[in-house]
Structure 1
Amino acid sequence: MYTPPAFREDDPHALRQIMREARLATLVTATAEGLLATPLPLILDDSEGEHGVLYGHLAKANSQWKVPVIGDALVIFSGPEAYITPSWYAAKQEHGKVVPTWNYVAVHAHGPVEFFEEEDRLLDAVSRLTSLHEQPREKPWAVTDAPDHYIRSQLKGIVGLRLPISRIEGKRKMSQNRPEADRNGVAAGLAESERASDRNVADMIPTGSR
């Protein structure tokens, strides 16, 4: 991932937070047949390894797990993003030498991917992933709420994924390279947007007040 120094995110806590908040990631593998990609919800276990280990599952009918992988796999996590119009820059009124851009947050996690079919490992991965996303609900649903024989039959249709992260890249592009007046304009413009995602990005812009 191309990352100028001004946008590099190296803080381990921030990287983990971005990955967890992204919720849906994209698994990319290089193969002799070309690149293969699958959107997947994943869980990060940061108690394993230097950068943590990703767990998830994909449909057994998905051929990505069957095709031999060349090198490491790549998992892409996309965070908040927003279009930035030059109209918000103070520089537009000063000299007009401005162009549109895009602000966004992203993490690329690299590592050797392992696919597995053992029932107990699958059940553990599915249970942990379900608990993660059900936890905020008033009445969380648990895998054990369904009949055991039904869950066991469903596990036969999926394949587990384990990816120890060997290298991680983070990028937080939030107008850090612009003068303060331009950053203030961007934050104000995004804050007035009807899109909740734009307003989210507005809160991430480094301005004079933060």
Structure 2
Amino acid sequence: MEHAPLPPFHEDLAAAEDALWRLLAEGVERGRSAFHTPSLATVDAAGRPRVRTVVLRAAERATGTLRIHCDRRSDKAAELAARASCALHAYDPESTVQIRIEGTAGLHADDATAEAAWAASQPMSRVCYGIDPAPGTPLPRGGAYAQPDAEAALTIGRPNFCALLVRAERLDFLYLDRRGHRRAGWRRTEKGWTGTWLAP
């Protein structure tokens, strides 16, 4: 049985960096991409790690910045306001690529960044920010919450909406292949990104 040719990034560090950002960009555009819904890890007030699935809304290679959205009433918003350190993780079983990102998140609720993100949001997404009570609130039964319609969400949901901009500080790219795994890492420096191969 013949194996598919190894990808260019198998022996080329620059190609691995290109692949990492290409996959993130595809994750923004393609809802079925494994990189569309990475996991976001934060640290709570007691120092315990917390993780949840988010939707990747933007990935800008030039600035090393990723954008996700959240409800400003949520635990993750409070955790990031108190401690900006965070991490993102995604794995695609089809391409056998794992991407990990470590960095710091800034919350944008009442500025141009938030306004542009809100304006570009789909009506269905806006409805989520108008749900009452706030995310994580205990309920007496499963359906004991109110959800606005799309029109009402424009006014009810907007005050609860915020954009999170994650400034990447470390990137990790792992490709799994029985002929030889390849792992690469990059760190942000004053001169830009510095990359190296890593033991898998």
Is contact 2:70-2:162 (8 Å) kept? yes
**Is 1:111 paired with 2:114?**
no
**Closer/same/farther in 2, CA of residues 170 and 13 from structure 1, 3 Å limit:** same
Pair 1:77-2:90 in alignment:
yes
Q: What amino acid maps onto 2:157 in structure 1?
A: Q
**1:25-36 pair list within 5 angstroms:** 25-33=38-46, 34-36=48-50
Residue of structure 1 in register with 2:73 after alignment:
61
Q: Whose helix proportion is higher, 1 or 2?
A: 1
Q: Report SS of the residue matched to 1:159.
A: strand
What does 1:90-169 align with in structure 2 at a 5 Å threshold?
A: 104-118=96-110, 120-128=112-120, 130=122, 147=151, 150-169=153-172
- Relative to structure 1, the CA distance from residue 125 to residue 78 in structure 2 (aligned partners, 3 Å threshold; closer, same or farther) is farther
Equivalent residues of 2:71, 2:162 under 8 A apart: yes
- AA aligned to 2:159 is K
SS in 2 for 1:41: coil
CA contact (8 A) 2:67 2:164 kept: yes
Alpha-carbon distance in 2 for matches of 1:63, 1:7: 42
Q: 1:177 to 1:17 in 2, by over 3 A?
A: same
How far did residue 119 of structure 1 move? 5.6
Query: CA shift at 1:9, angstroms?
Result: 7.1
Name the CA distance, whole Å, in 1 between partners of 2:173 and 2:22.
11
Unaligned runs of 5+ in 1: 1-5, 82-102, 131-145, 179-210
Residue of structure 2 in register with 1:170 after alignment: 173
Query: In the comparison of the two structures, how many residue pairs are matched?
Result: 133
Where does residue 17 of structure 1 map in the other structure? 22
Q: Which has the higher contact order (CA 8 A, sep 6+)?
A: 1
TM-score by length of 1: 0.53
Change (3 A) 1:123 1:104: same
How has the CA–CA distance of structure 1 residues 9 and 152 changed in structure 2, closer, same or farther, with 3 Å as cutoff? farther
Max Rg structure: 1
When the two chains are superposed, the root-mean-square deviation of aligned CA atoms in Å is: 3.0
1:8 and 1:172 in contact (8 A); partners too:
no
SS in structure 2 opposite 1:166? strand
Identical residues among aligned pairs (%): 13
Listed one character per residue, the Cα deviations across residues 20-52 of structure 1 (whole Å, up to 9, x for unaligned) are 241101110124421122211012332542xx2
Q: 1:7 to 1:35 in 2, by over 3 A?
A: farther
Query: Is the CA contact (8 Å cut-off) linking 2:39 and 2:53 kept in structure 1?
Result: yes
* Counterpart secondary structure, 2:23: helix
* Paired amino acid for 1:18: L
* Alignment map for 1:174-193 (pairs within 5 Å): 174-177=177-180
Q: 1: CA distance between counterparts of 2:120 and 2:18? A: 21
Note if contact 2:96-2:175 (Cα within 8 Å) is conserved in structure 1: yes
| Mapped partners of 1:73, 1:166: distance in 2 | 10
Q: Does 1:37 align with 2:51?
A: yes
